[in-house]
């Protein structure tokens, strides 16, 4: 919602790049890019656990690359006309794993105290409920595209910004309060979607 226009612009730029030749060197099967996105994100918790400056930077780069591949899989699918229910399912499912990994990355570099643990659990819950509310709503015929304070793209951008600020400053509290912020915003988004769906379904049934 917040970055909807920016997302559309990025997708247009991505489409232009594909048309200028990138599509020829990328796999035509978008599912390969979806799986690669998860594979690239998998080692980042270990890197964060090393607590080395270069490992933080590498984690940042890998998460950016994973996010880029996640965007490209959809563009490639539409470019080659290979959109499918299987691809949509894989993309949505593996995205949840990448989201979880990214949140774990932030938690590992925090103080891992009580606030961090509670924030991590609430952020995971909020992320899952945001996605579930949309999936369930759309299954019931309620359109949810662009609805909510913090969609997945915004969550990833915030996570990357938190990590970048931590890399620059080295201040542990950045990760602690960053997690708390994510916990707050993701659950606000989930509640916002739930309320919208309840209103929509109530109006449609006349209750």
* Spatial separation of the C-alpha atoms in residues 150 and 147, rounded to whole Å: 9
pTM: 0.87
Element (H, E) at 206: none
Predicted local confidence at residue 150, as pLDDT:
83
Q: In the structure encoding, which two tokens stand for residue 156, read together?
A: 């990833």
| Number of neighbouring beta carbons within 10 Å of residue 197 | 19
Q: Which of 95, 99, 105, 111 is catalytic?
A: 95
- Contact of 189 with 131, CB cutoff 8 Å: no
**Tokens matching residue 72:** 């490209």
Per DSSP, the residues of 4-72 read: HHHHHHHHHHHHHHIIIIIHHHS-S-HHHHHHHHHHHHTTHHHHHHHT-HHHHHHHHHHHHHHHHHHHH
Q: Cβ distance 111 to 170 under 8 Å?
A: no
Cβ pair 133, 192 in contact under 8 A = no
Please check whether residue 33 is in contact with residue 27, taking contact to mean a CB–CB distance below 8 angstroms.
Answer: yes
Determine the structural domain holding residue 103 and report its residue range.
4-205
pLDDT for the residue 2: 46
Looking at the structure of the chain, the number of domains it has is 1
pLDDT given for residue 43 in this prediction: 97
Residue 95 designated active-site: yes
- Domain holding 41: CATH number? 1.20.120.1760
**CB-based contact 2:154 (threshold 8 Å):** yes
Residue numbers of the chain with a pLDDT score lower than 70? 1-25, 205-207
């Amino acid at each position: 919602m917040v970055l909807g226009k920016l997302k559309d612009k990025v997708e247009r730029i991505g489409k232009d790049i594909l048309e200028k030749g990138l599509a020829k060197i990328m796999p035509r099967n978008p599912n390969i890019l979806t799986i690669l996105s998860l594979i690239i994100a998998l080692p980042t918790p270990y890197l964060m656990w090393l607590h080395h400056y270069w490992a933080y930077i590498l984690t940042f780069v890998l998460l950016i690359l994973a996010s880029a591949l996640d965007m490209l899989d959809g563009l490639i699918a539409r470019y080659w006309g290979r959109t499918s229910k299987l691809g949509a399912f894989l993309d949505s499912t593996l995205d949840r794993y990448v989201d979880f990994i990214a949140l774990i990355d932030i938690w590992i570099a925090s103080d891992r105290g009580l606030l961090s643990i509670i924030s991590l659990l609430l952020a995971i819950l909020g992320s899952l409920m945001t996605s579930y509310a949309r999936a369930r709503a759309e299954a019931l015929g309620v359109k949810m595209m662009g609805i909510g304070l913090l969609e997945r793209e915004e969550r990833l951008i915030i996570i990357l910004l938190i990590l970048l600020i931590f890399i620059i400053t080295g201040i542990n509290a950045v990760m602690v309060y960053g997690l708390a912020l994510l916990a707050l915003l993701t659950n606000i988004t989930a509640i916002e979607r739930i309320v919208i769906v309840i209103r929509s379904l109530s109006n449609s049934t006349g209750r």
